[in-house]
Amino acid sequence: MKRVAAAIAIALAVACTTPPSTPEDLIVVALASSPVSLDPAVGLDESSQKLHQLLYRSLLKTDADLRVVPDLAVRFESADKQVYVAEIPRGVMFHDGREMTADDVAFTFRRFLDPKFLSGRKGAYAALASVDVRDRYTVAFNLKAPSASFPINLIMGIVPQGSVAGSRQPIGSGPYRLKEFVADDHVTLTPFAEAYGGAPANAGLLFKVVPDETMRGLELRKRSVDLVVNDLSPDLVNGLRSLPGLAVATSPGTDYAYIGCNLLDPVLADRRVRLAIRHAVDTGAIISYLRRGLARPTTGVVPAMSWAYDAGDADTSYNLDAARRLLDEAGFRDPDGDGPEPRLRLTLKTSTDERYRLQAAVIQQNLAQAGIAVEIRSYEFATLMADVIRGNVQLYTLQFVGITDPDMLRRAFHSKQVPPNGFNRSHYANPDVDSLLDAAGLALDEAARRDYYAKVQRQVSADAPLISLWAKTNVAVSQDNLTGIELSPTADFSFLRNVRRVR
């Protein structure tokens, strides 16, 4: 923590007020990494996806309650959840001056059915059987079986028919068109005056790649960057929020941080041990001190703002007495009273990122108070993920990022979704949960789906294959002369079309 604070202090001490060299009419946004691909079917990294939201329009989008609602679609319906029909409006123009038609929509999604087309997104469209053009503006998506969760996959930028995969000169219908893309340096977008729904409020966007977060803070202070969204640590935000000329905006986010338990491990297979760990971890202290308040308590994977969220009634409180009692019941009694010997020993694997190493250290201290000795092992992210996927772990810390659809419950907890098929990295198996998740996927109305998902959340909370740590708070730090900064739960970049500079 001291090293982070020192870096912030040094950066701010040397900061000056040199005016930006970028034209004043451009809004400059710092990115932590360069986009990989501006093709929405190919670019999976966060920076690429943020830019897709500005270059393209989709049939659907998510609202503040994380419901899937129309974006371009003027009609979207399904009688049986196996055939979905979407109609686009007349007069949606691509950046090259062509009108968007159903042929373009069909081409966009048929790419995922082409065996020769390479995309990390293809797995999401495994349920799609075919795409039919019904008329110039109407398209039908035919599924192999009914699925109420499929529409989330129609949040995908529409590209013109015949587009070349991975093109460096992408053509969309979004509020901005690409002017320049210099890998690892910057991307410049200019307004598209003919954009459906109206042109942006500003004269363009410059995305500046600044990999080092201390430098991102410095560039804000120098006014050479106008805005940073979710790419600053809580410590750095805390150091910047009191400086003159800067403003901070926040909103509840969807990222979910947790301790994963490998249920294949004989110790962690005992639910009482997992519940003891939950009672022993002081998540309130982690949120207040490590996260600087830029997080909130959470009970599970589904975000609290979601239409499908259920808080349940499980006791998730910080309670060392309850933790010790549960360990006694599980047979892990204190061997020496107030002596140094632990009840049991576990290993916790985490990232080498300093923030998560500090978090692991707090968890280690918390569990020691309950009599659980924890050895921390930190790894580069790729190595950590490989161990988690192979089941070469006991405890581990990770995050689910950008959760919008409650179908994540299926991916995370269905017994058929263990890696490599899904995200059930805890190897959790409960036949009742499987049945509920299967039923939720087939339910034809939202009320029924909500009921099934609520029961799943309650049962999973009672079984505790994951220990909830916190839900992220989105944060944007900007120059205080900008207006129109409104962060959605997913912190998508679509709000940038409304950002302008006040003179």
User: Tell me: the pLDDT tens digits for 91-138?
Assistant: 999 999 999 999 999 999 999 999 999 888 888 899 999 999 999 999
Which position has the token pair 């009599």?
A: 371
Give the number of other Cβ atoms within 10 Å of residue 189's Cβ: 25
Name the token pair of 57: 């329009």
Q: Using CA of residue 117, residue 120, residue 126, residue 131, what is the dihedral sign?
A: negative
Q: What is the DSSP string of 58-103?
A: -SEEE-TT--EEESS-SEEE-SSSSEEEEEPPTT-B-TTSPBP-HH
How far is 412 from 313, CA to CA, in rounded Å?
A: 21
Buried b (16+ CB within 10 A) or exposed e, 151-186: bbbbbbbbbbbebeeeeeebbbbbbbbbeebeeeeb
Mean pLDDT computed over 350-367: 95
pLDDT score at 24: 61
Which position has the token pair 């109305």?
A: 445
Grouping H, G, I as helix, E, B as strand and the rest as coil, residue 454 is helix
Bridge pairing between strands 176-182 and 138-143: unpaired
How far is 157 from 121, CA to CA, in rounded Å?
A: 13
**Which residues are 468's β-sheet partners?**
258
Catalogue all structural domains in the chain, each as residue range(s) with its CATH number: 2-38+170-251+474-501 (3.40.190.10), 55-154 (3.90.76.10), 253-472 (3.10.105.10)
Upstream peptide bond of 420 is cis (omega within 30 degrees of 0): yes
Q: What is the pTM of this model?
A: 0.88
Terminal CA-CA length for the chain: 38
State which amino acid sits at residue 323: A
User: Tell me: the pLDDT tens digits for 254-301?
Assistant: 999 999 999 999 999 999 999 999 999 999 999 999 999 999 999 999
Helix, strand, coil share (%) of the chain residues, nearest 5: 30, 25, 45
Please report which confidence band the pLDDT of residue 22 belongs to, taking 50, 70 and 90 as the band edges: low
How far is 287 from 22, CA to CA, in rounded Å?
A: 37
Q: Within 13 Å, how many C-alpha atoms sit on residue 388's CB side? A: 26
